[in-house]
A = this chain, B = another copy of it.
Amino acid sequence: MQEKGISLAVIQRLPRYYRYLGELLENDVVRISSKELSERMKVTASQIRQDLNNFGGFGQQGYGYNVEYLYTEIGKILGLDKQYNVIIIGAGNLGQALANYTDFERRGFTITGIFDVNPRLEGISIRGIEIRMLDELENFIKNNTVHIAALTIPKLKAPNVAKELVRMGIKAIWNFAPIDLNLPNDVMVENVHLAESLMRLSYNLKALEESNENNKK
């Protein structure tokens, strides 16, 4: 598989292809043309062909893409042919929401530990996983393989906890705290900044209202 030189923009789009192809598979669709996929995904067919040609062109002229093959190959590219153990730091609502999300498990991400500092949460189980106290984290990481740590703790605590996680050997952090973590380059950070997402919505809503007002004039 040729993966060199794939642009970041294409990589960013792959999870969405993967989701659509997964839905097609669930509906027993065996093959799909770039045109059909284009209509479903609201992306131009030429964009789809360009994107998917990066991976050696799974499509065949006049036949379309083999859905299962493409799904499997994109899955491999995304690293989804492996299993990932995920721990959640912060067992508040958001941490519990992530722990309860069965969708992740289907994709190979298994929640193996949940940690918090609140003693009232100690021992409570979420889908069979007991909430542990944060001071048990280091031992847990020593004795269990952990691939990814999700950070669902307050902004002011996140940078230090992230540094501790890196010291303990964690190489991938899924950060929900509204702050950028300054970590070494060999640590992968994926941010989910909810407030920023909400601001993009208010920007678009404002733009919509202004365009409506202009149309009235």
Contacts and interface: CB of A to CB of B under 8 A. Distances in A.
Interface residues of A, number: 55
Contacts of A174: 197-198, 201
Interface stretch (A91-99, A115-123, A133-141, A159-167): A91-99
A104 B193 CA distance: 12
B104 A195 contact: yes
Copies in the complex: 2
Nearest to A74: B199
Contact of A97 (B41, B97, B186, B204): B97
Contacts of A204: 172, 188, 190
Contacts of A202: 78-80, 82, 84, 108-109, 148, 172
B199 A14 contact: yes
Contact of A15 (B192, B193, B205): B193
A54 to B, nearest CB: 13
Interface string A118-159: 000000000000000000000000000001100000000000
